Structure 1
Amino acid sequence: MIRTLLTLLVLFMFLVHPVASAASFPSQSSDRWALPSTTVIIDVGHGGIDGGASHGDLLEKDINLAIASKLYLLLRSRGIAAVMNRTGDYALSDDNRWHRTGSRHRRDLSQRRGLTEEIGSELMVSLHVNSARNSGKRGPLVLFQNTGESALLAFCLQEALNRQQNTTALPREGKPFYLLRRVEQPSVIVEMGFISNAQDRSMLTDSRKQLEIAEAIASGIGHYQWVAN
């Protein structure tokens, strides 16, 4: 957990806000440093021992990180503050020493949720890749919380991704998903395509197409902010 917080602090101070005002930090006599705040938390799905969905040697965790990195830079270029909760190939569960459970998966999820409580943000976008037994299934799918703000964010993202991938899916409520149930900020899970589908797999592994996906997500976030504000 300490490694993750330090990573986020470095990202915040030197990437998200290259020039920090004195008011951004407590006085030298303060007992502790203030934790960063941001607009968007980019939740990079899986990592480390948890590869996520796969096809041969291709792993979801690597696709998620590649697109998340592009999304981060795009948001920053548009003046939207953002942080990534994973900047390399490691499992967030490794940083979780506070959740006493034998389940690595539960430690991973609670660590992701815990970071949303420690870092003030307006919304969270969790990036993932889908998989299905039916290799014909393709396209993006955005899952939302049982709140109007989350649903609005999901519709903005789904519409942008549909245009990018020439699909017509509608977002769905993600009732079973831990992050959507436990995170307080408006949050969504973005399934960016199917690793089990040849067409989607080609898109998800092409650097230029990854940038198109990131641009669609950034556009959806911008549209949400315009409507919500």
Structure 2
Amino acid sequence: MLLLTPGYAGAEPVHSTQEQQHNDEQHHMLGHGHRMILIDAGHGGVDGGTSHGKILEKDITLDISRKLFLLLRSDGFDAILNRNGDYAPSEENHWLRSSSRHLRDLAQRKELAETLPANIVVSIHINWASSPSKHGPLVLYRQEGRSFMLAKSIQSQLNHLYGTQTDSRPGKPFYLLNKITATTVIVEAGFISSPTDRAKLCSPAGQQEIAEAVANGIAAYLMEV
């Protein structure tokens, strides 16, 4: 599995002395270097996720995740991206004896989170509904206090971006939220079935806005805990 880590070329911005001093103060306040954030780009490879015509969820989640990774790294966070290409993590899972590619994929993502170990896991996904009128972001959380707080913080930022008032929700049926012990959320960044959401999800500018909202939500959460 290719991981984008602090040594990733292009991830480190050049700061002036004044900017560096400001960042150092912020990093101390937020506890940088002590909290590893794993960004899980949903789907990949043979698993395209949901779709609209030729638009695939796996491509959008990767684009948003890359942008989120660079934003967090530029702010000095210890961020890791679990894939930087179009492949499924299940392709590298040779230890789980299961005929289900989907289960091997999920188990590989869980194993990475536990091995690092990650303090925060943010899994990026795209939603779908039968009605094109259903739109907006939704953040699902692992049913424990810190995950709830992180989800609420990210949801607030995304609601502001989309002009919605959605509440984050527990994601009880989801494997990652049940199996990963770290603070974990799934970010459904919008509905690919919604023309309004799709325009944002498929444009570089819209993806950047989404990544910034998620990054701001993570930073706001870390200031509370």
Range into which the TM-score falls when normalised by the shorter chain: 0.7 to 0.9
Contact 2:6 2:73 in 1 (8 A): no
Which residue of structure 2 lines up, in the alignment, with residue 125 of structure 1? 122
Matched, 1:110 2:104: no
Which residue of structure 1 lines up, in the alignment, with residue 205 of structure 2? 208
Matched, 1:175 2:169: no
CA distance in structure 2 between the partners assigned to 1:126 and 1:70 by the alignment = 14
Which residue of structure 1 lines up, in the alignment, with residue 183 of structure 2? 186
Which residue of structure 1 lines up, in the alignment, with residue 193 of structure 2? 196
CA distance in structure 1 between the partners assigned to 2:96 and 2:12 by the alignment = 32
Q: Counterpart of 1:49 in 2: which secondary structure?
A: coil
Matched, 1:11 2:5: yes
1:195 maps to a residue whose letter is I
Which residue of structure 1 lines up, in the alignment, with residue 159 of structure 2? 162
Which residue of structure 1 lines up, in the alignment, with residue 92 of structure 2? 95
**How far off is 1:108 after superposition?**
0.3
Q: From 137, 140, 154, give the equivalent of 2:137.
A: 140
Cα deviation per residue 1:68-104 (whole Å; 9 max; x = unaligned)?
A: 0000010011111101111100011100001101000
**How far off is 1:13 after superposition?**
3.5
CA distance in structure 1 between the partners assigned to 2:7 and 2:190 by the alignment = 33
CA distance in structure 1 between the partners assigned to 2:64 and 2:202 by the alignment = 10
CA distance in structure 1 between the partners assigned to 2:8 and 2:219 by the alignment = 23
1:180 maps to a residue whose letter is L
Q: Counterpart of 1:111 in 2: which secondary structure?
A: helix
1:40 maps to a residue whose letter is I
CA distance in structure 2 between the partners assigned to 1:38 and 1:211 by the alignment = 23
1:160 maps to a residue whose letter is Q
Q: From 202, 212, 220, give the equivalent of 2:217.
A: 220
Contact 1:123 1:185 in 2 (8 A): yes
Contact 1:156 1:224 in 2 (8 A): yes
**How far off is 1:14 after superposition?**
4.0
- 1:49-88 to structure 2, matched below 5 A, reads 49-88=46-85
Q: Counterpart of 2:186 in 1: which secondary structure?
A: strand
**How far off is 1:12 after superposition?**
3.8
Q: What is the TM-score with the length of structure 2 in the denominator? A: 0.87
Contact 1:44 1:68 in 2 (8 A): yes
Q: From 32, 35, 40, give the equivalent of 2:37.
A: 40
CA distance in structure 2 between the partners assigned to 1:214 and 1:65 by the alignment = 11
**How far off is 1:17 after superposition?**
8.3
* Root mean square deviation of aligned Cα: 1.6
Q: Counterpart of 2:125 in 1: which secondary structure?
A: strand
Q: What is the TM-score with the length of structure 1 in the denominator? A: 0.86
Contact 1:42 1:82 in 2 (8 A): yes
